[in-house]
């Protein structure tokens, strides 16, 4: 009987730990920065990173990526798909700000297709970033290009 | 004949023709130096004895070189004579500033002085009047800013007299000598595209796409000089090297001026009569503004296209390129040329 009780107890503890871990992992991406910076705040799924993400220490640039809209938290976005320019996307967001673009960041470490991001945005990109832009959608899509101010990872 | 004598003979047979070529090249370079020596003045930024970037004037053969700012408490760079050669604009940075090869037009303060560097006047504050370049009459400047776009500003009143959207241009804006055009670097179909903009209508023309930057005008306002790094070069770990090119303002007839595997060619500028070309020759990408510049060189435009050094890869692409005499001057950055007589040393 003692053995059975111990087993049940262990299972309960283990499932509790598992649930706790799951609860820790689930993250809406909301934080003080993403919910206040920029004029638009969305949760969106990264659908495509066209072209190569360059990592050249001598040159800075923004890379336009395609997102599927999941939720608009602030501001107005009336498209199901948006195009977002990320500054120097080879760098983790918490280390990407520099003298040229000082006010950006987030907790996202790496851009991967299918991941979900919560982002604070501005639009159009040209009003907020003045530099080289890799935009493989140029001439293909006429939608405005958003500028990513803050990018957090979302996990379910 | 001993083995040692034989070796000496082989060495002599091998080296003598090379010495002859070098001597002939030296003679051609000396001739070029003699030809340009009296043709006005070159201004450039170089490291002064105080260790900071200062502005220097020199004759185009490198003689009569003198420090015209000599400011141990500031860095200076980006000098450009007004079209009549009577004024000089440049940017002054706080001491210790690392001058960014792409962003320098946004850095520091705009300064306007006499062409010999005397009577320097600060125009506006830090980061104001970005990428200022002269109007044909020297009474206005054109500037490039993120939200404001391209602004034409009257220098006397400091008022904006005209404004155009920048249409993707993001750096290195320069006004043509005839006032009809701007050139710059833009995000057009791709980034690092040299473009021409109609200064009245804002209409944009792509001049050269793909890894092209720092454009400047020929004196005829019809052609644009720019460094470009064509794709498909195997050298530099597949990144290739930057060569000096030019095209007409419509983007037609792109031609290489000078290239050399192992070196990045930047700082392209024409002499006021368009017969000679200035450039810098830097082993590192970027032109050297972050360090101490690179050797400033002069070549005849009539000798273009030219390929220097071994340049096995480049010679395959340009088999007809010439072996041009190139006059190498001191290390510097962003040289600029006037035929105006600036006068005796202060």
Establish if B17 belongs to a structural domain. no
Label residue B14 by pLDDT band (50, 70, 90): low
pLDDT at A24: 53
User: What average pLDDT score do residues B67-79 get?
Assistant: 97
- Bridge partners of residue A29, in order along the sequence: none
User: Cβ of A133 and B192 within 8 Å?
Assistant: no
Residue A60 phi, psi (nearest 5): -110, 145
Q: How long a stretch of residues is chain A?
A: 156
User: What average pLDDT score do residues B33-42 get?
Assistant: 98
User: Cβ of A126 and B171 within 8 Å?
Assistant: no
Measured distance CA(B31)–CA(B37) in Å, rounded: 10
Domain map of chain A by residue range? 40-154
Q: Please choose, from the candidates B62, B58, B63, B60, the residue with its C-alpha nearest in 3D space to the C-alpha of residue B35.
A: B60
Return the SS3 of B236.
coil
pLDDT at B343: 72
Label residue B3 by pLDDT band (50, 70, 90): low
The reply to whether A98 touches chain B by the CB within 8 Å rule is: no
Residue B211 has pLDDT above 80, yes or no: yes
Domain that includes residue B180, residue range: 38-338
pLDDT at B215: 97
Measured distance CA(B24)–CA(B43) in Å, rounded: 29
Residue A30 has pLDDT above 50, yes or no: yes
Residue B3, both tokens: 């083995």
Label residue B11 by pLDDT band (50, 70, 90): low
Residues within 8 A of B (CB atoms), A 30-89 only = 58-59, 61
Label residue B203 by pLDDT band (50, 70, 90): very high
From chain A, pick out residues whose CB is under 8 angstroms from the CB of B166: 126
Measured distance CA(B171)–CA(B175) in Å, rounded: 13
Q: Are strands B193-198 and B204-208 parallel, antiparallel or unpaired?
A: antiparallel
- B305: cis peptide before it, omega within 30°? yes
Q: Is B328 within 8 Å of B71 (Cβ atoms)? A: no
Interface mutation vs chain A, best among B100, B187, B287, most A CBs within 10 Å: B187
Cβ neighbors of A18 (< 8 A, separation 6 or more) are none
From chain A, pick out residues whose CB is under 8 angstroms from the CB of B126: none
Establish if B70 belongs to a structural domain. yes
A54-76 residue pLDDT tens: 888 889 999 999 999 999 999 99
Residue B185: give its domain's CATH number. Answer: 2.120.10.30
Establish if B4 belongs to a structural domain. no
Residue B205 phi, psi (nearest 5): -125, 130
**DSSP state, residue A20:** H
pLDDT at A156: 85
Residue B12 phi, psi (nearest 5): -65, -45
User: Cβ of B170 and A130 within 8 Å?
Assistant: yes
Measured distance CA(B313)–CA(B309) in Å, rounded: 11
From chain B, pick out residues whose CB is under 8 angstroms from the CB of A130: 146, 170-171
From chain A, pick out residues whose CB is under 8 angstroms from the CB of B93: none
* ipTM score above 0.90: no
A37 CA: distance to closest CA in chain B (Å): 19
Measured distance CA(A115)–CA(A108) in Å, rounded: 10
pLDDT at A127: 94
Residue A10 has pLDDT above 60, yes or no: no
pLDDT at B98: 95
pLDDT at A20: 45
Residue A94 phi, psi (nearest 5): -75, -5
């Amino acid at each position: 009987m003692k053995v059975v009780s111990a087993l049940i107890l262990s299972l309960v503890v283990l499932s509790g730990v598992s649930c706790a871990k799951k609860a820790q992992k689930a993250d809406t991406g909301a934080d003080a920065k993403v919910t206040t910076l920029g004029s638009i705040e969305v949760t969106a799924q990264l659908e495509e990173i066209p072209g190569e993400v360059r990592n050249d220490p001598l040159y800075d640039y923004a890379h336009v990526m395609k997102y599927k809209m999941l939720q608009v938290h602030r501001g107005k976005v009336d498209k199901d798909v948006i195009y977002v320019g990320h500054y120097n996307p080879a760098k983790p967001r918490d280390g990407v700000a520099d003298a040229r673009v000082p006010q950006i960041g987030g907790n996202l470490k790496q851009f991967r297709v299918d991941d979900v991001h919560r982002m604070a945005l501005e639009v159009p990109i040209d009003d907020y970033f003045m530099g080289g832009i890799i935009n493989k959608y140029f001439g293909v899509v006429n939608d405005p290009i958003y500028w990513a101010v803050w990018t957090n990872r979302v996990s379910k | 004949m001993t083995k040692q004598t034989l070796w000496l003979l082989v060495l002599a047979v091998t080296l003598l023709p090379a010495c002859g070529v070098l001597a002939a090249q030296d003679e051609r370079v000396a001739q070029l130096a003699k030809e340009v020596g009296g043709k006005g003045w070159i201004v450039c930024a170089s490291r002064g004895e105080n260790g900071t970037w200062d502005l220097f004037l020199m004759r185009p053969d490198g003689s009569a070189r003198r420090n015209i700012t000599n400011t141990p408490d500031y860095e200076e760079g980006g000098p450009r004579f007004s079209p009549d050669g009577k004024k000089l604009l440049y940017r002054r940075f706080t001491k210790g500033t690392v001058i960014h090869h792409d962003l320098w037009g946004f850095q520091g303060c705009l300064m306007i002085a006499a062409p010999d560097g005397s009577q320097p006047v600060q125009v506006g504050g830090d980061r104001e009047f970005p990428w200022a370049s002269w109007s044909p009459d020297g009474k206005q400047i054109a500037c490039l800013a993120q939200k404001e776009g391209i602004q034409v500003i009257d220098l006397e009143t400091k008022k904006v007299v005209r404004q155009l959207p920048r249409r993707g241009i993001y750096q290195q804006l320069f006004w043509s000598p005839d006032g009809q055009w701007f050139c710059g670097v833009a995000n057009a179909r791709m980034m690092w595209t040299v473009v021409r903009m109609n200064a009245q209508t804002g209409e944009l023309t792509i001049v050269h796409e793909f890894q092209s930057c720092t454009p400047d005008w020929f004196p005829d306002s019809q052609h644009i000089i720019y460094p470009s790094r064509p794709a498909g070069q195997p050298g530099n770990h597949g990144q290739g090297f930057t060569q000096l090119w030019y095209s007409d303002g419509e983007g037609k007839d792109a031609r290489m001026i000078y290239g050399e595997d192992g070196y990045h060619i930047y700082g392209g500028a024409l002499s006021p009569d368009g017969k000679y070309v200035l450039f810098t020759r830097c082993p590192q990408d970027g032109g050297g503004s972050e360090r101490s510049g690179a050797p400033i060189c002069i070549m005849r435009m009539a000798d273009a296209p030219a390929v220097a050094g071994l340049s096995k890869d480049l010679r395959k692409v340009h088999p007809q390129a010439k072996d041009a005499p190139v006059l190498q001057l001191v290390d510097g950055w962003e040289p600029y040329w006037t035929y105006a007589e600036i006068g005796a040393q202060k």
